[in-house]
Amino acid sequence: MNLNPFLILETGQPVASMSRHGGFPHWIRVAAGLERDDAVVVNVQAGESLPSREGFAGTIVTGSGAMVSDREDWSERSAGWLRDAAHAGMPVFGICYGHQLLAHALGGEVGNHPGGREMGTVELDLHPQARHDPLFGPLPDRFHAQATHLQTVLRAPDGATVLAASSHDACHAFRWGESAWGVQFHPEFSATHMRGYVRARQVALSREGHDAKAILRNVGATPQARRVLRRFVHHVRHLPR
């Protein structure tokens, strides 16, 4: 069993109203069932240096309020690091911004979703090819997940397998190669996190023609989505070294 720590690349902070619950790395550790000593956090958005890949079981990339299409220096450096890591076979799991950054790193296209914002507890459908995926294979054909994003993977990287979609977004999850995954949804979000995000975005939602109260009413638990993150950790722990 590979007991090396996981590397968490911190690419952003939660909305200010949710900061009392900690940062994304803490939410991810809790959702993934990792102890504090099981993860090393590098805040790449704040300019911390990207480490050597040696000694890490795998990498998890957080969400962010930043935009991949802005091509900020820290983001592009992180994309280069992720590209090299994925090509070297390092297990990678990107969440929301991390999903988009991984797709960009591997040659996909990321930009504003033509349909605008997706937010709340959404229903995802698995594609048939997900049945053979080690993370998504055990899931039901349809499950719920928490989502909040304006940008999206407009075109998955060449050679990627798209695993799940919502009615709004055609690429909610993909796998590239044998050990790199991106998920547009937030497996680390609880219903409390999701409600906090909806409340923080009420003005924007209203301006965009969404009913924030209806979105709040529909927020619920998403245990199947959380299991995807836990399966990534379990899968990586049991890979031959």
The residues carrying an active-site annotation are 96, 186, 188
Burial pattern 214-237, b for ≥16 Cβ within 10 A else e, equals ebbeebeebebbbbbbebbbebbb
Q: What are the residues whose beta carbons fall under 8 Å from the beta carbon of 42, sequence distance 6 or more?
A: 7, 8, 9, 10, 48, 49, 50, 51
Quick one: angle between helices 97-105 and 73-87, nearest 10? Answer: 70
What is the CA 206 to chain-centroid distance, rounded? 26
Q: What is d(CA 98, CA 184) in angstroms, rounded to the nearest whole number?
A: 8
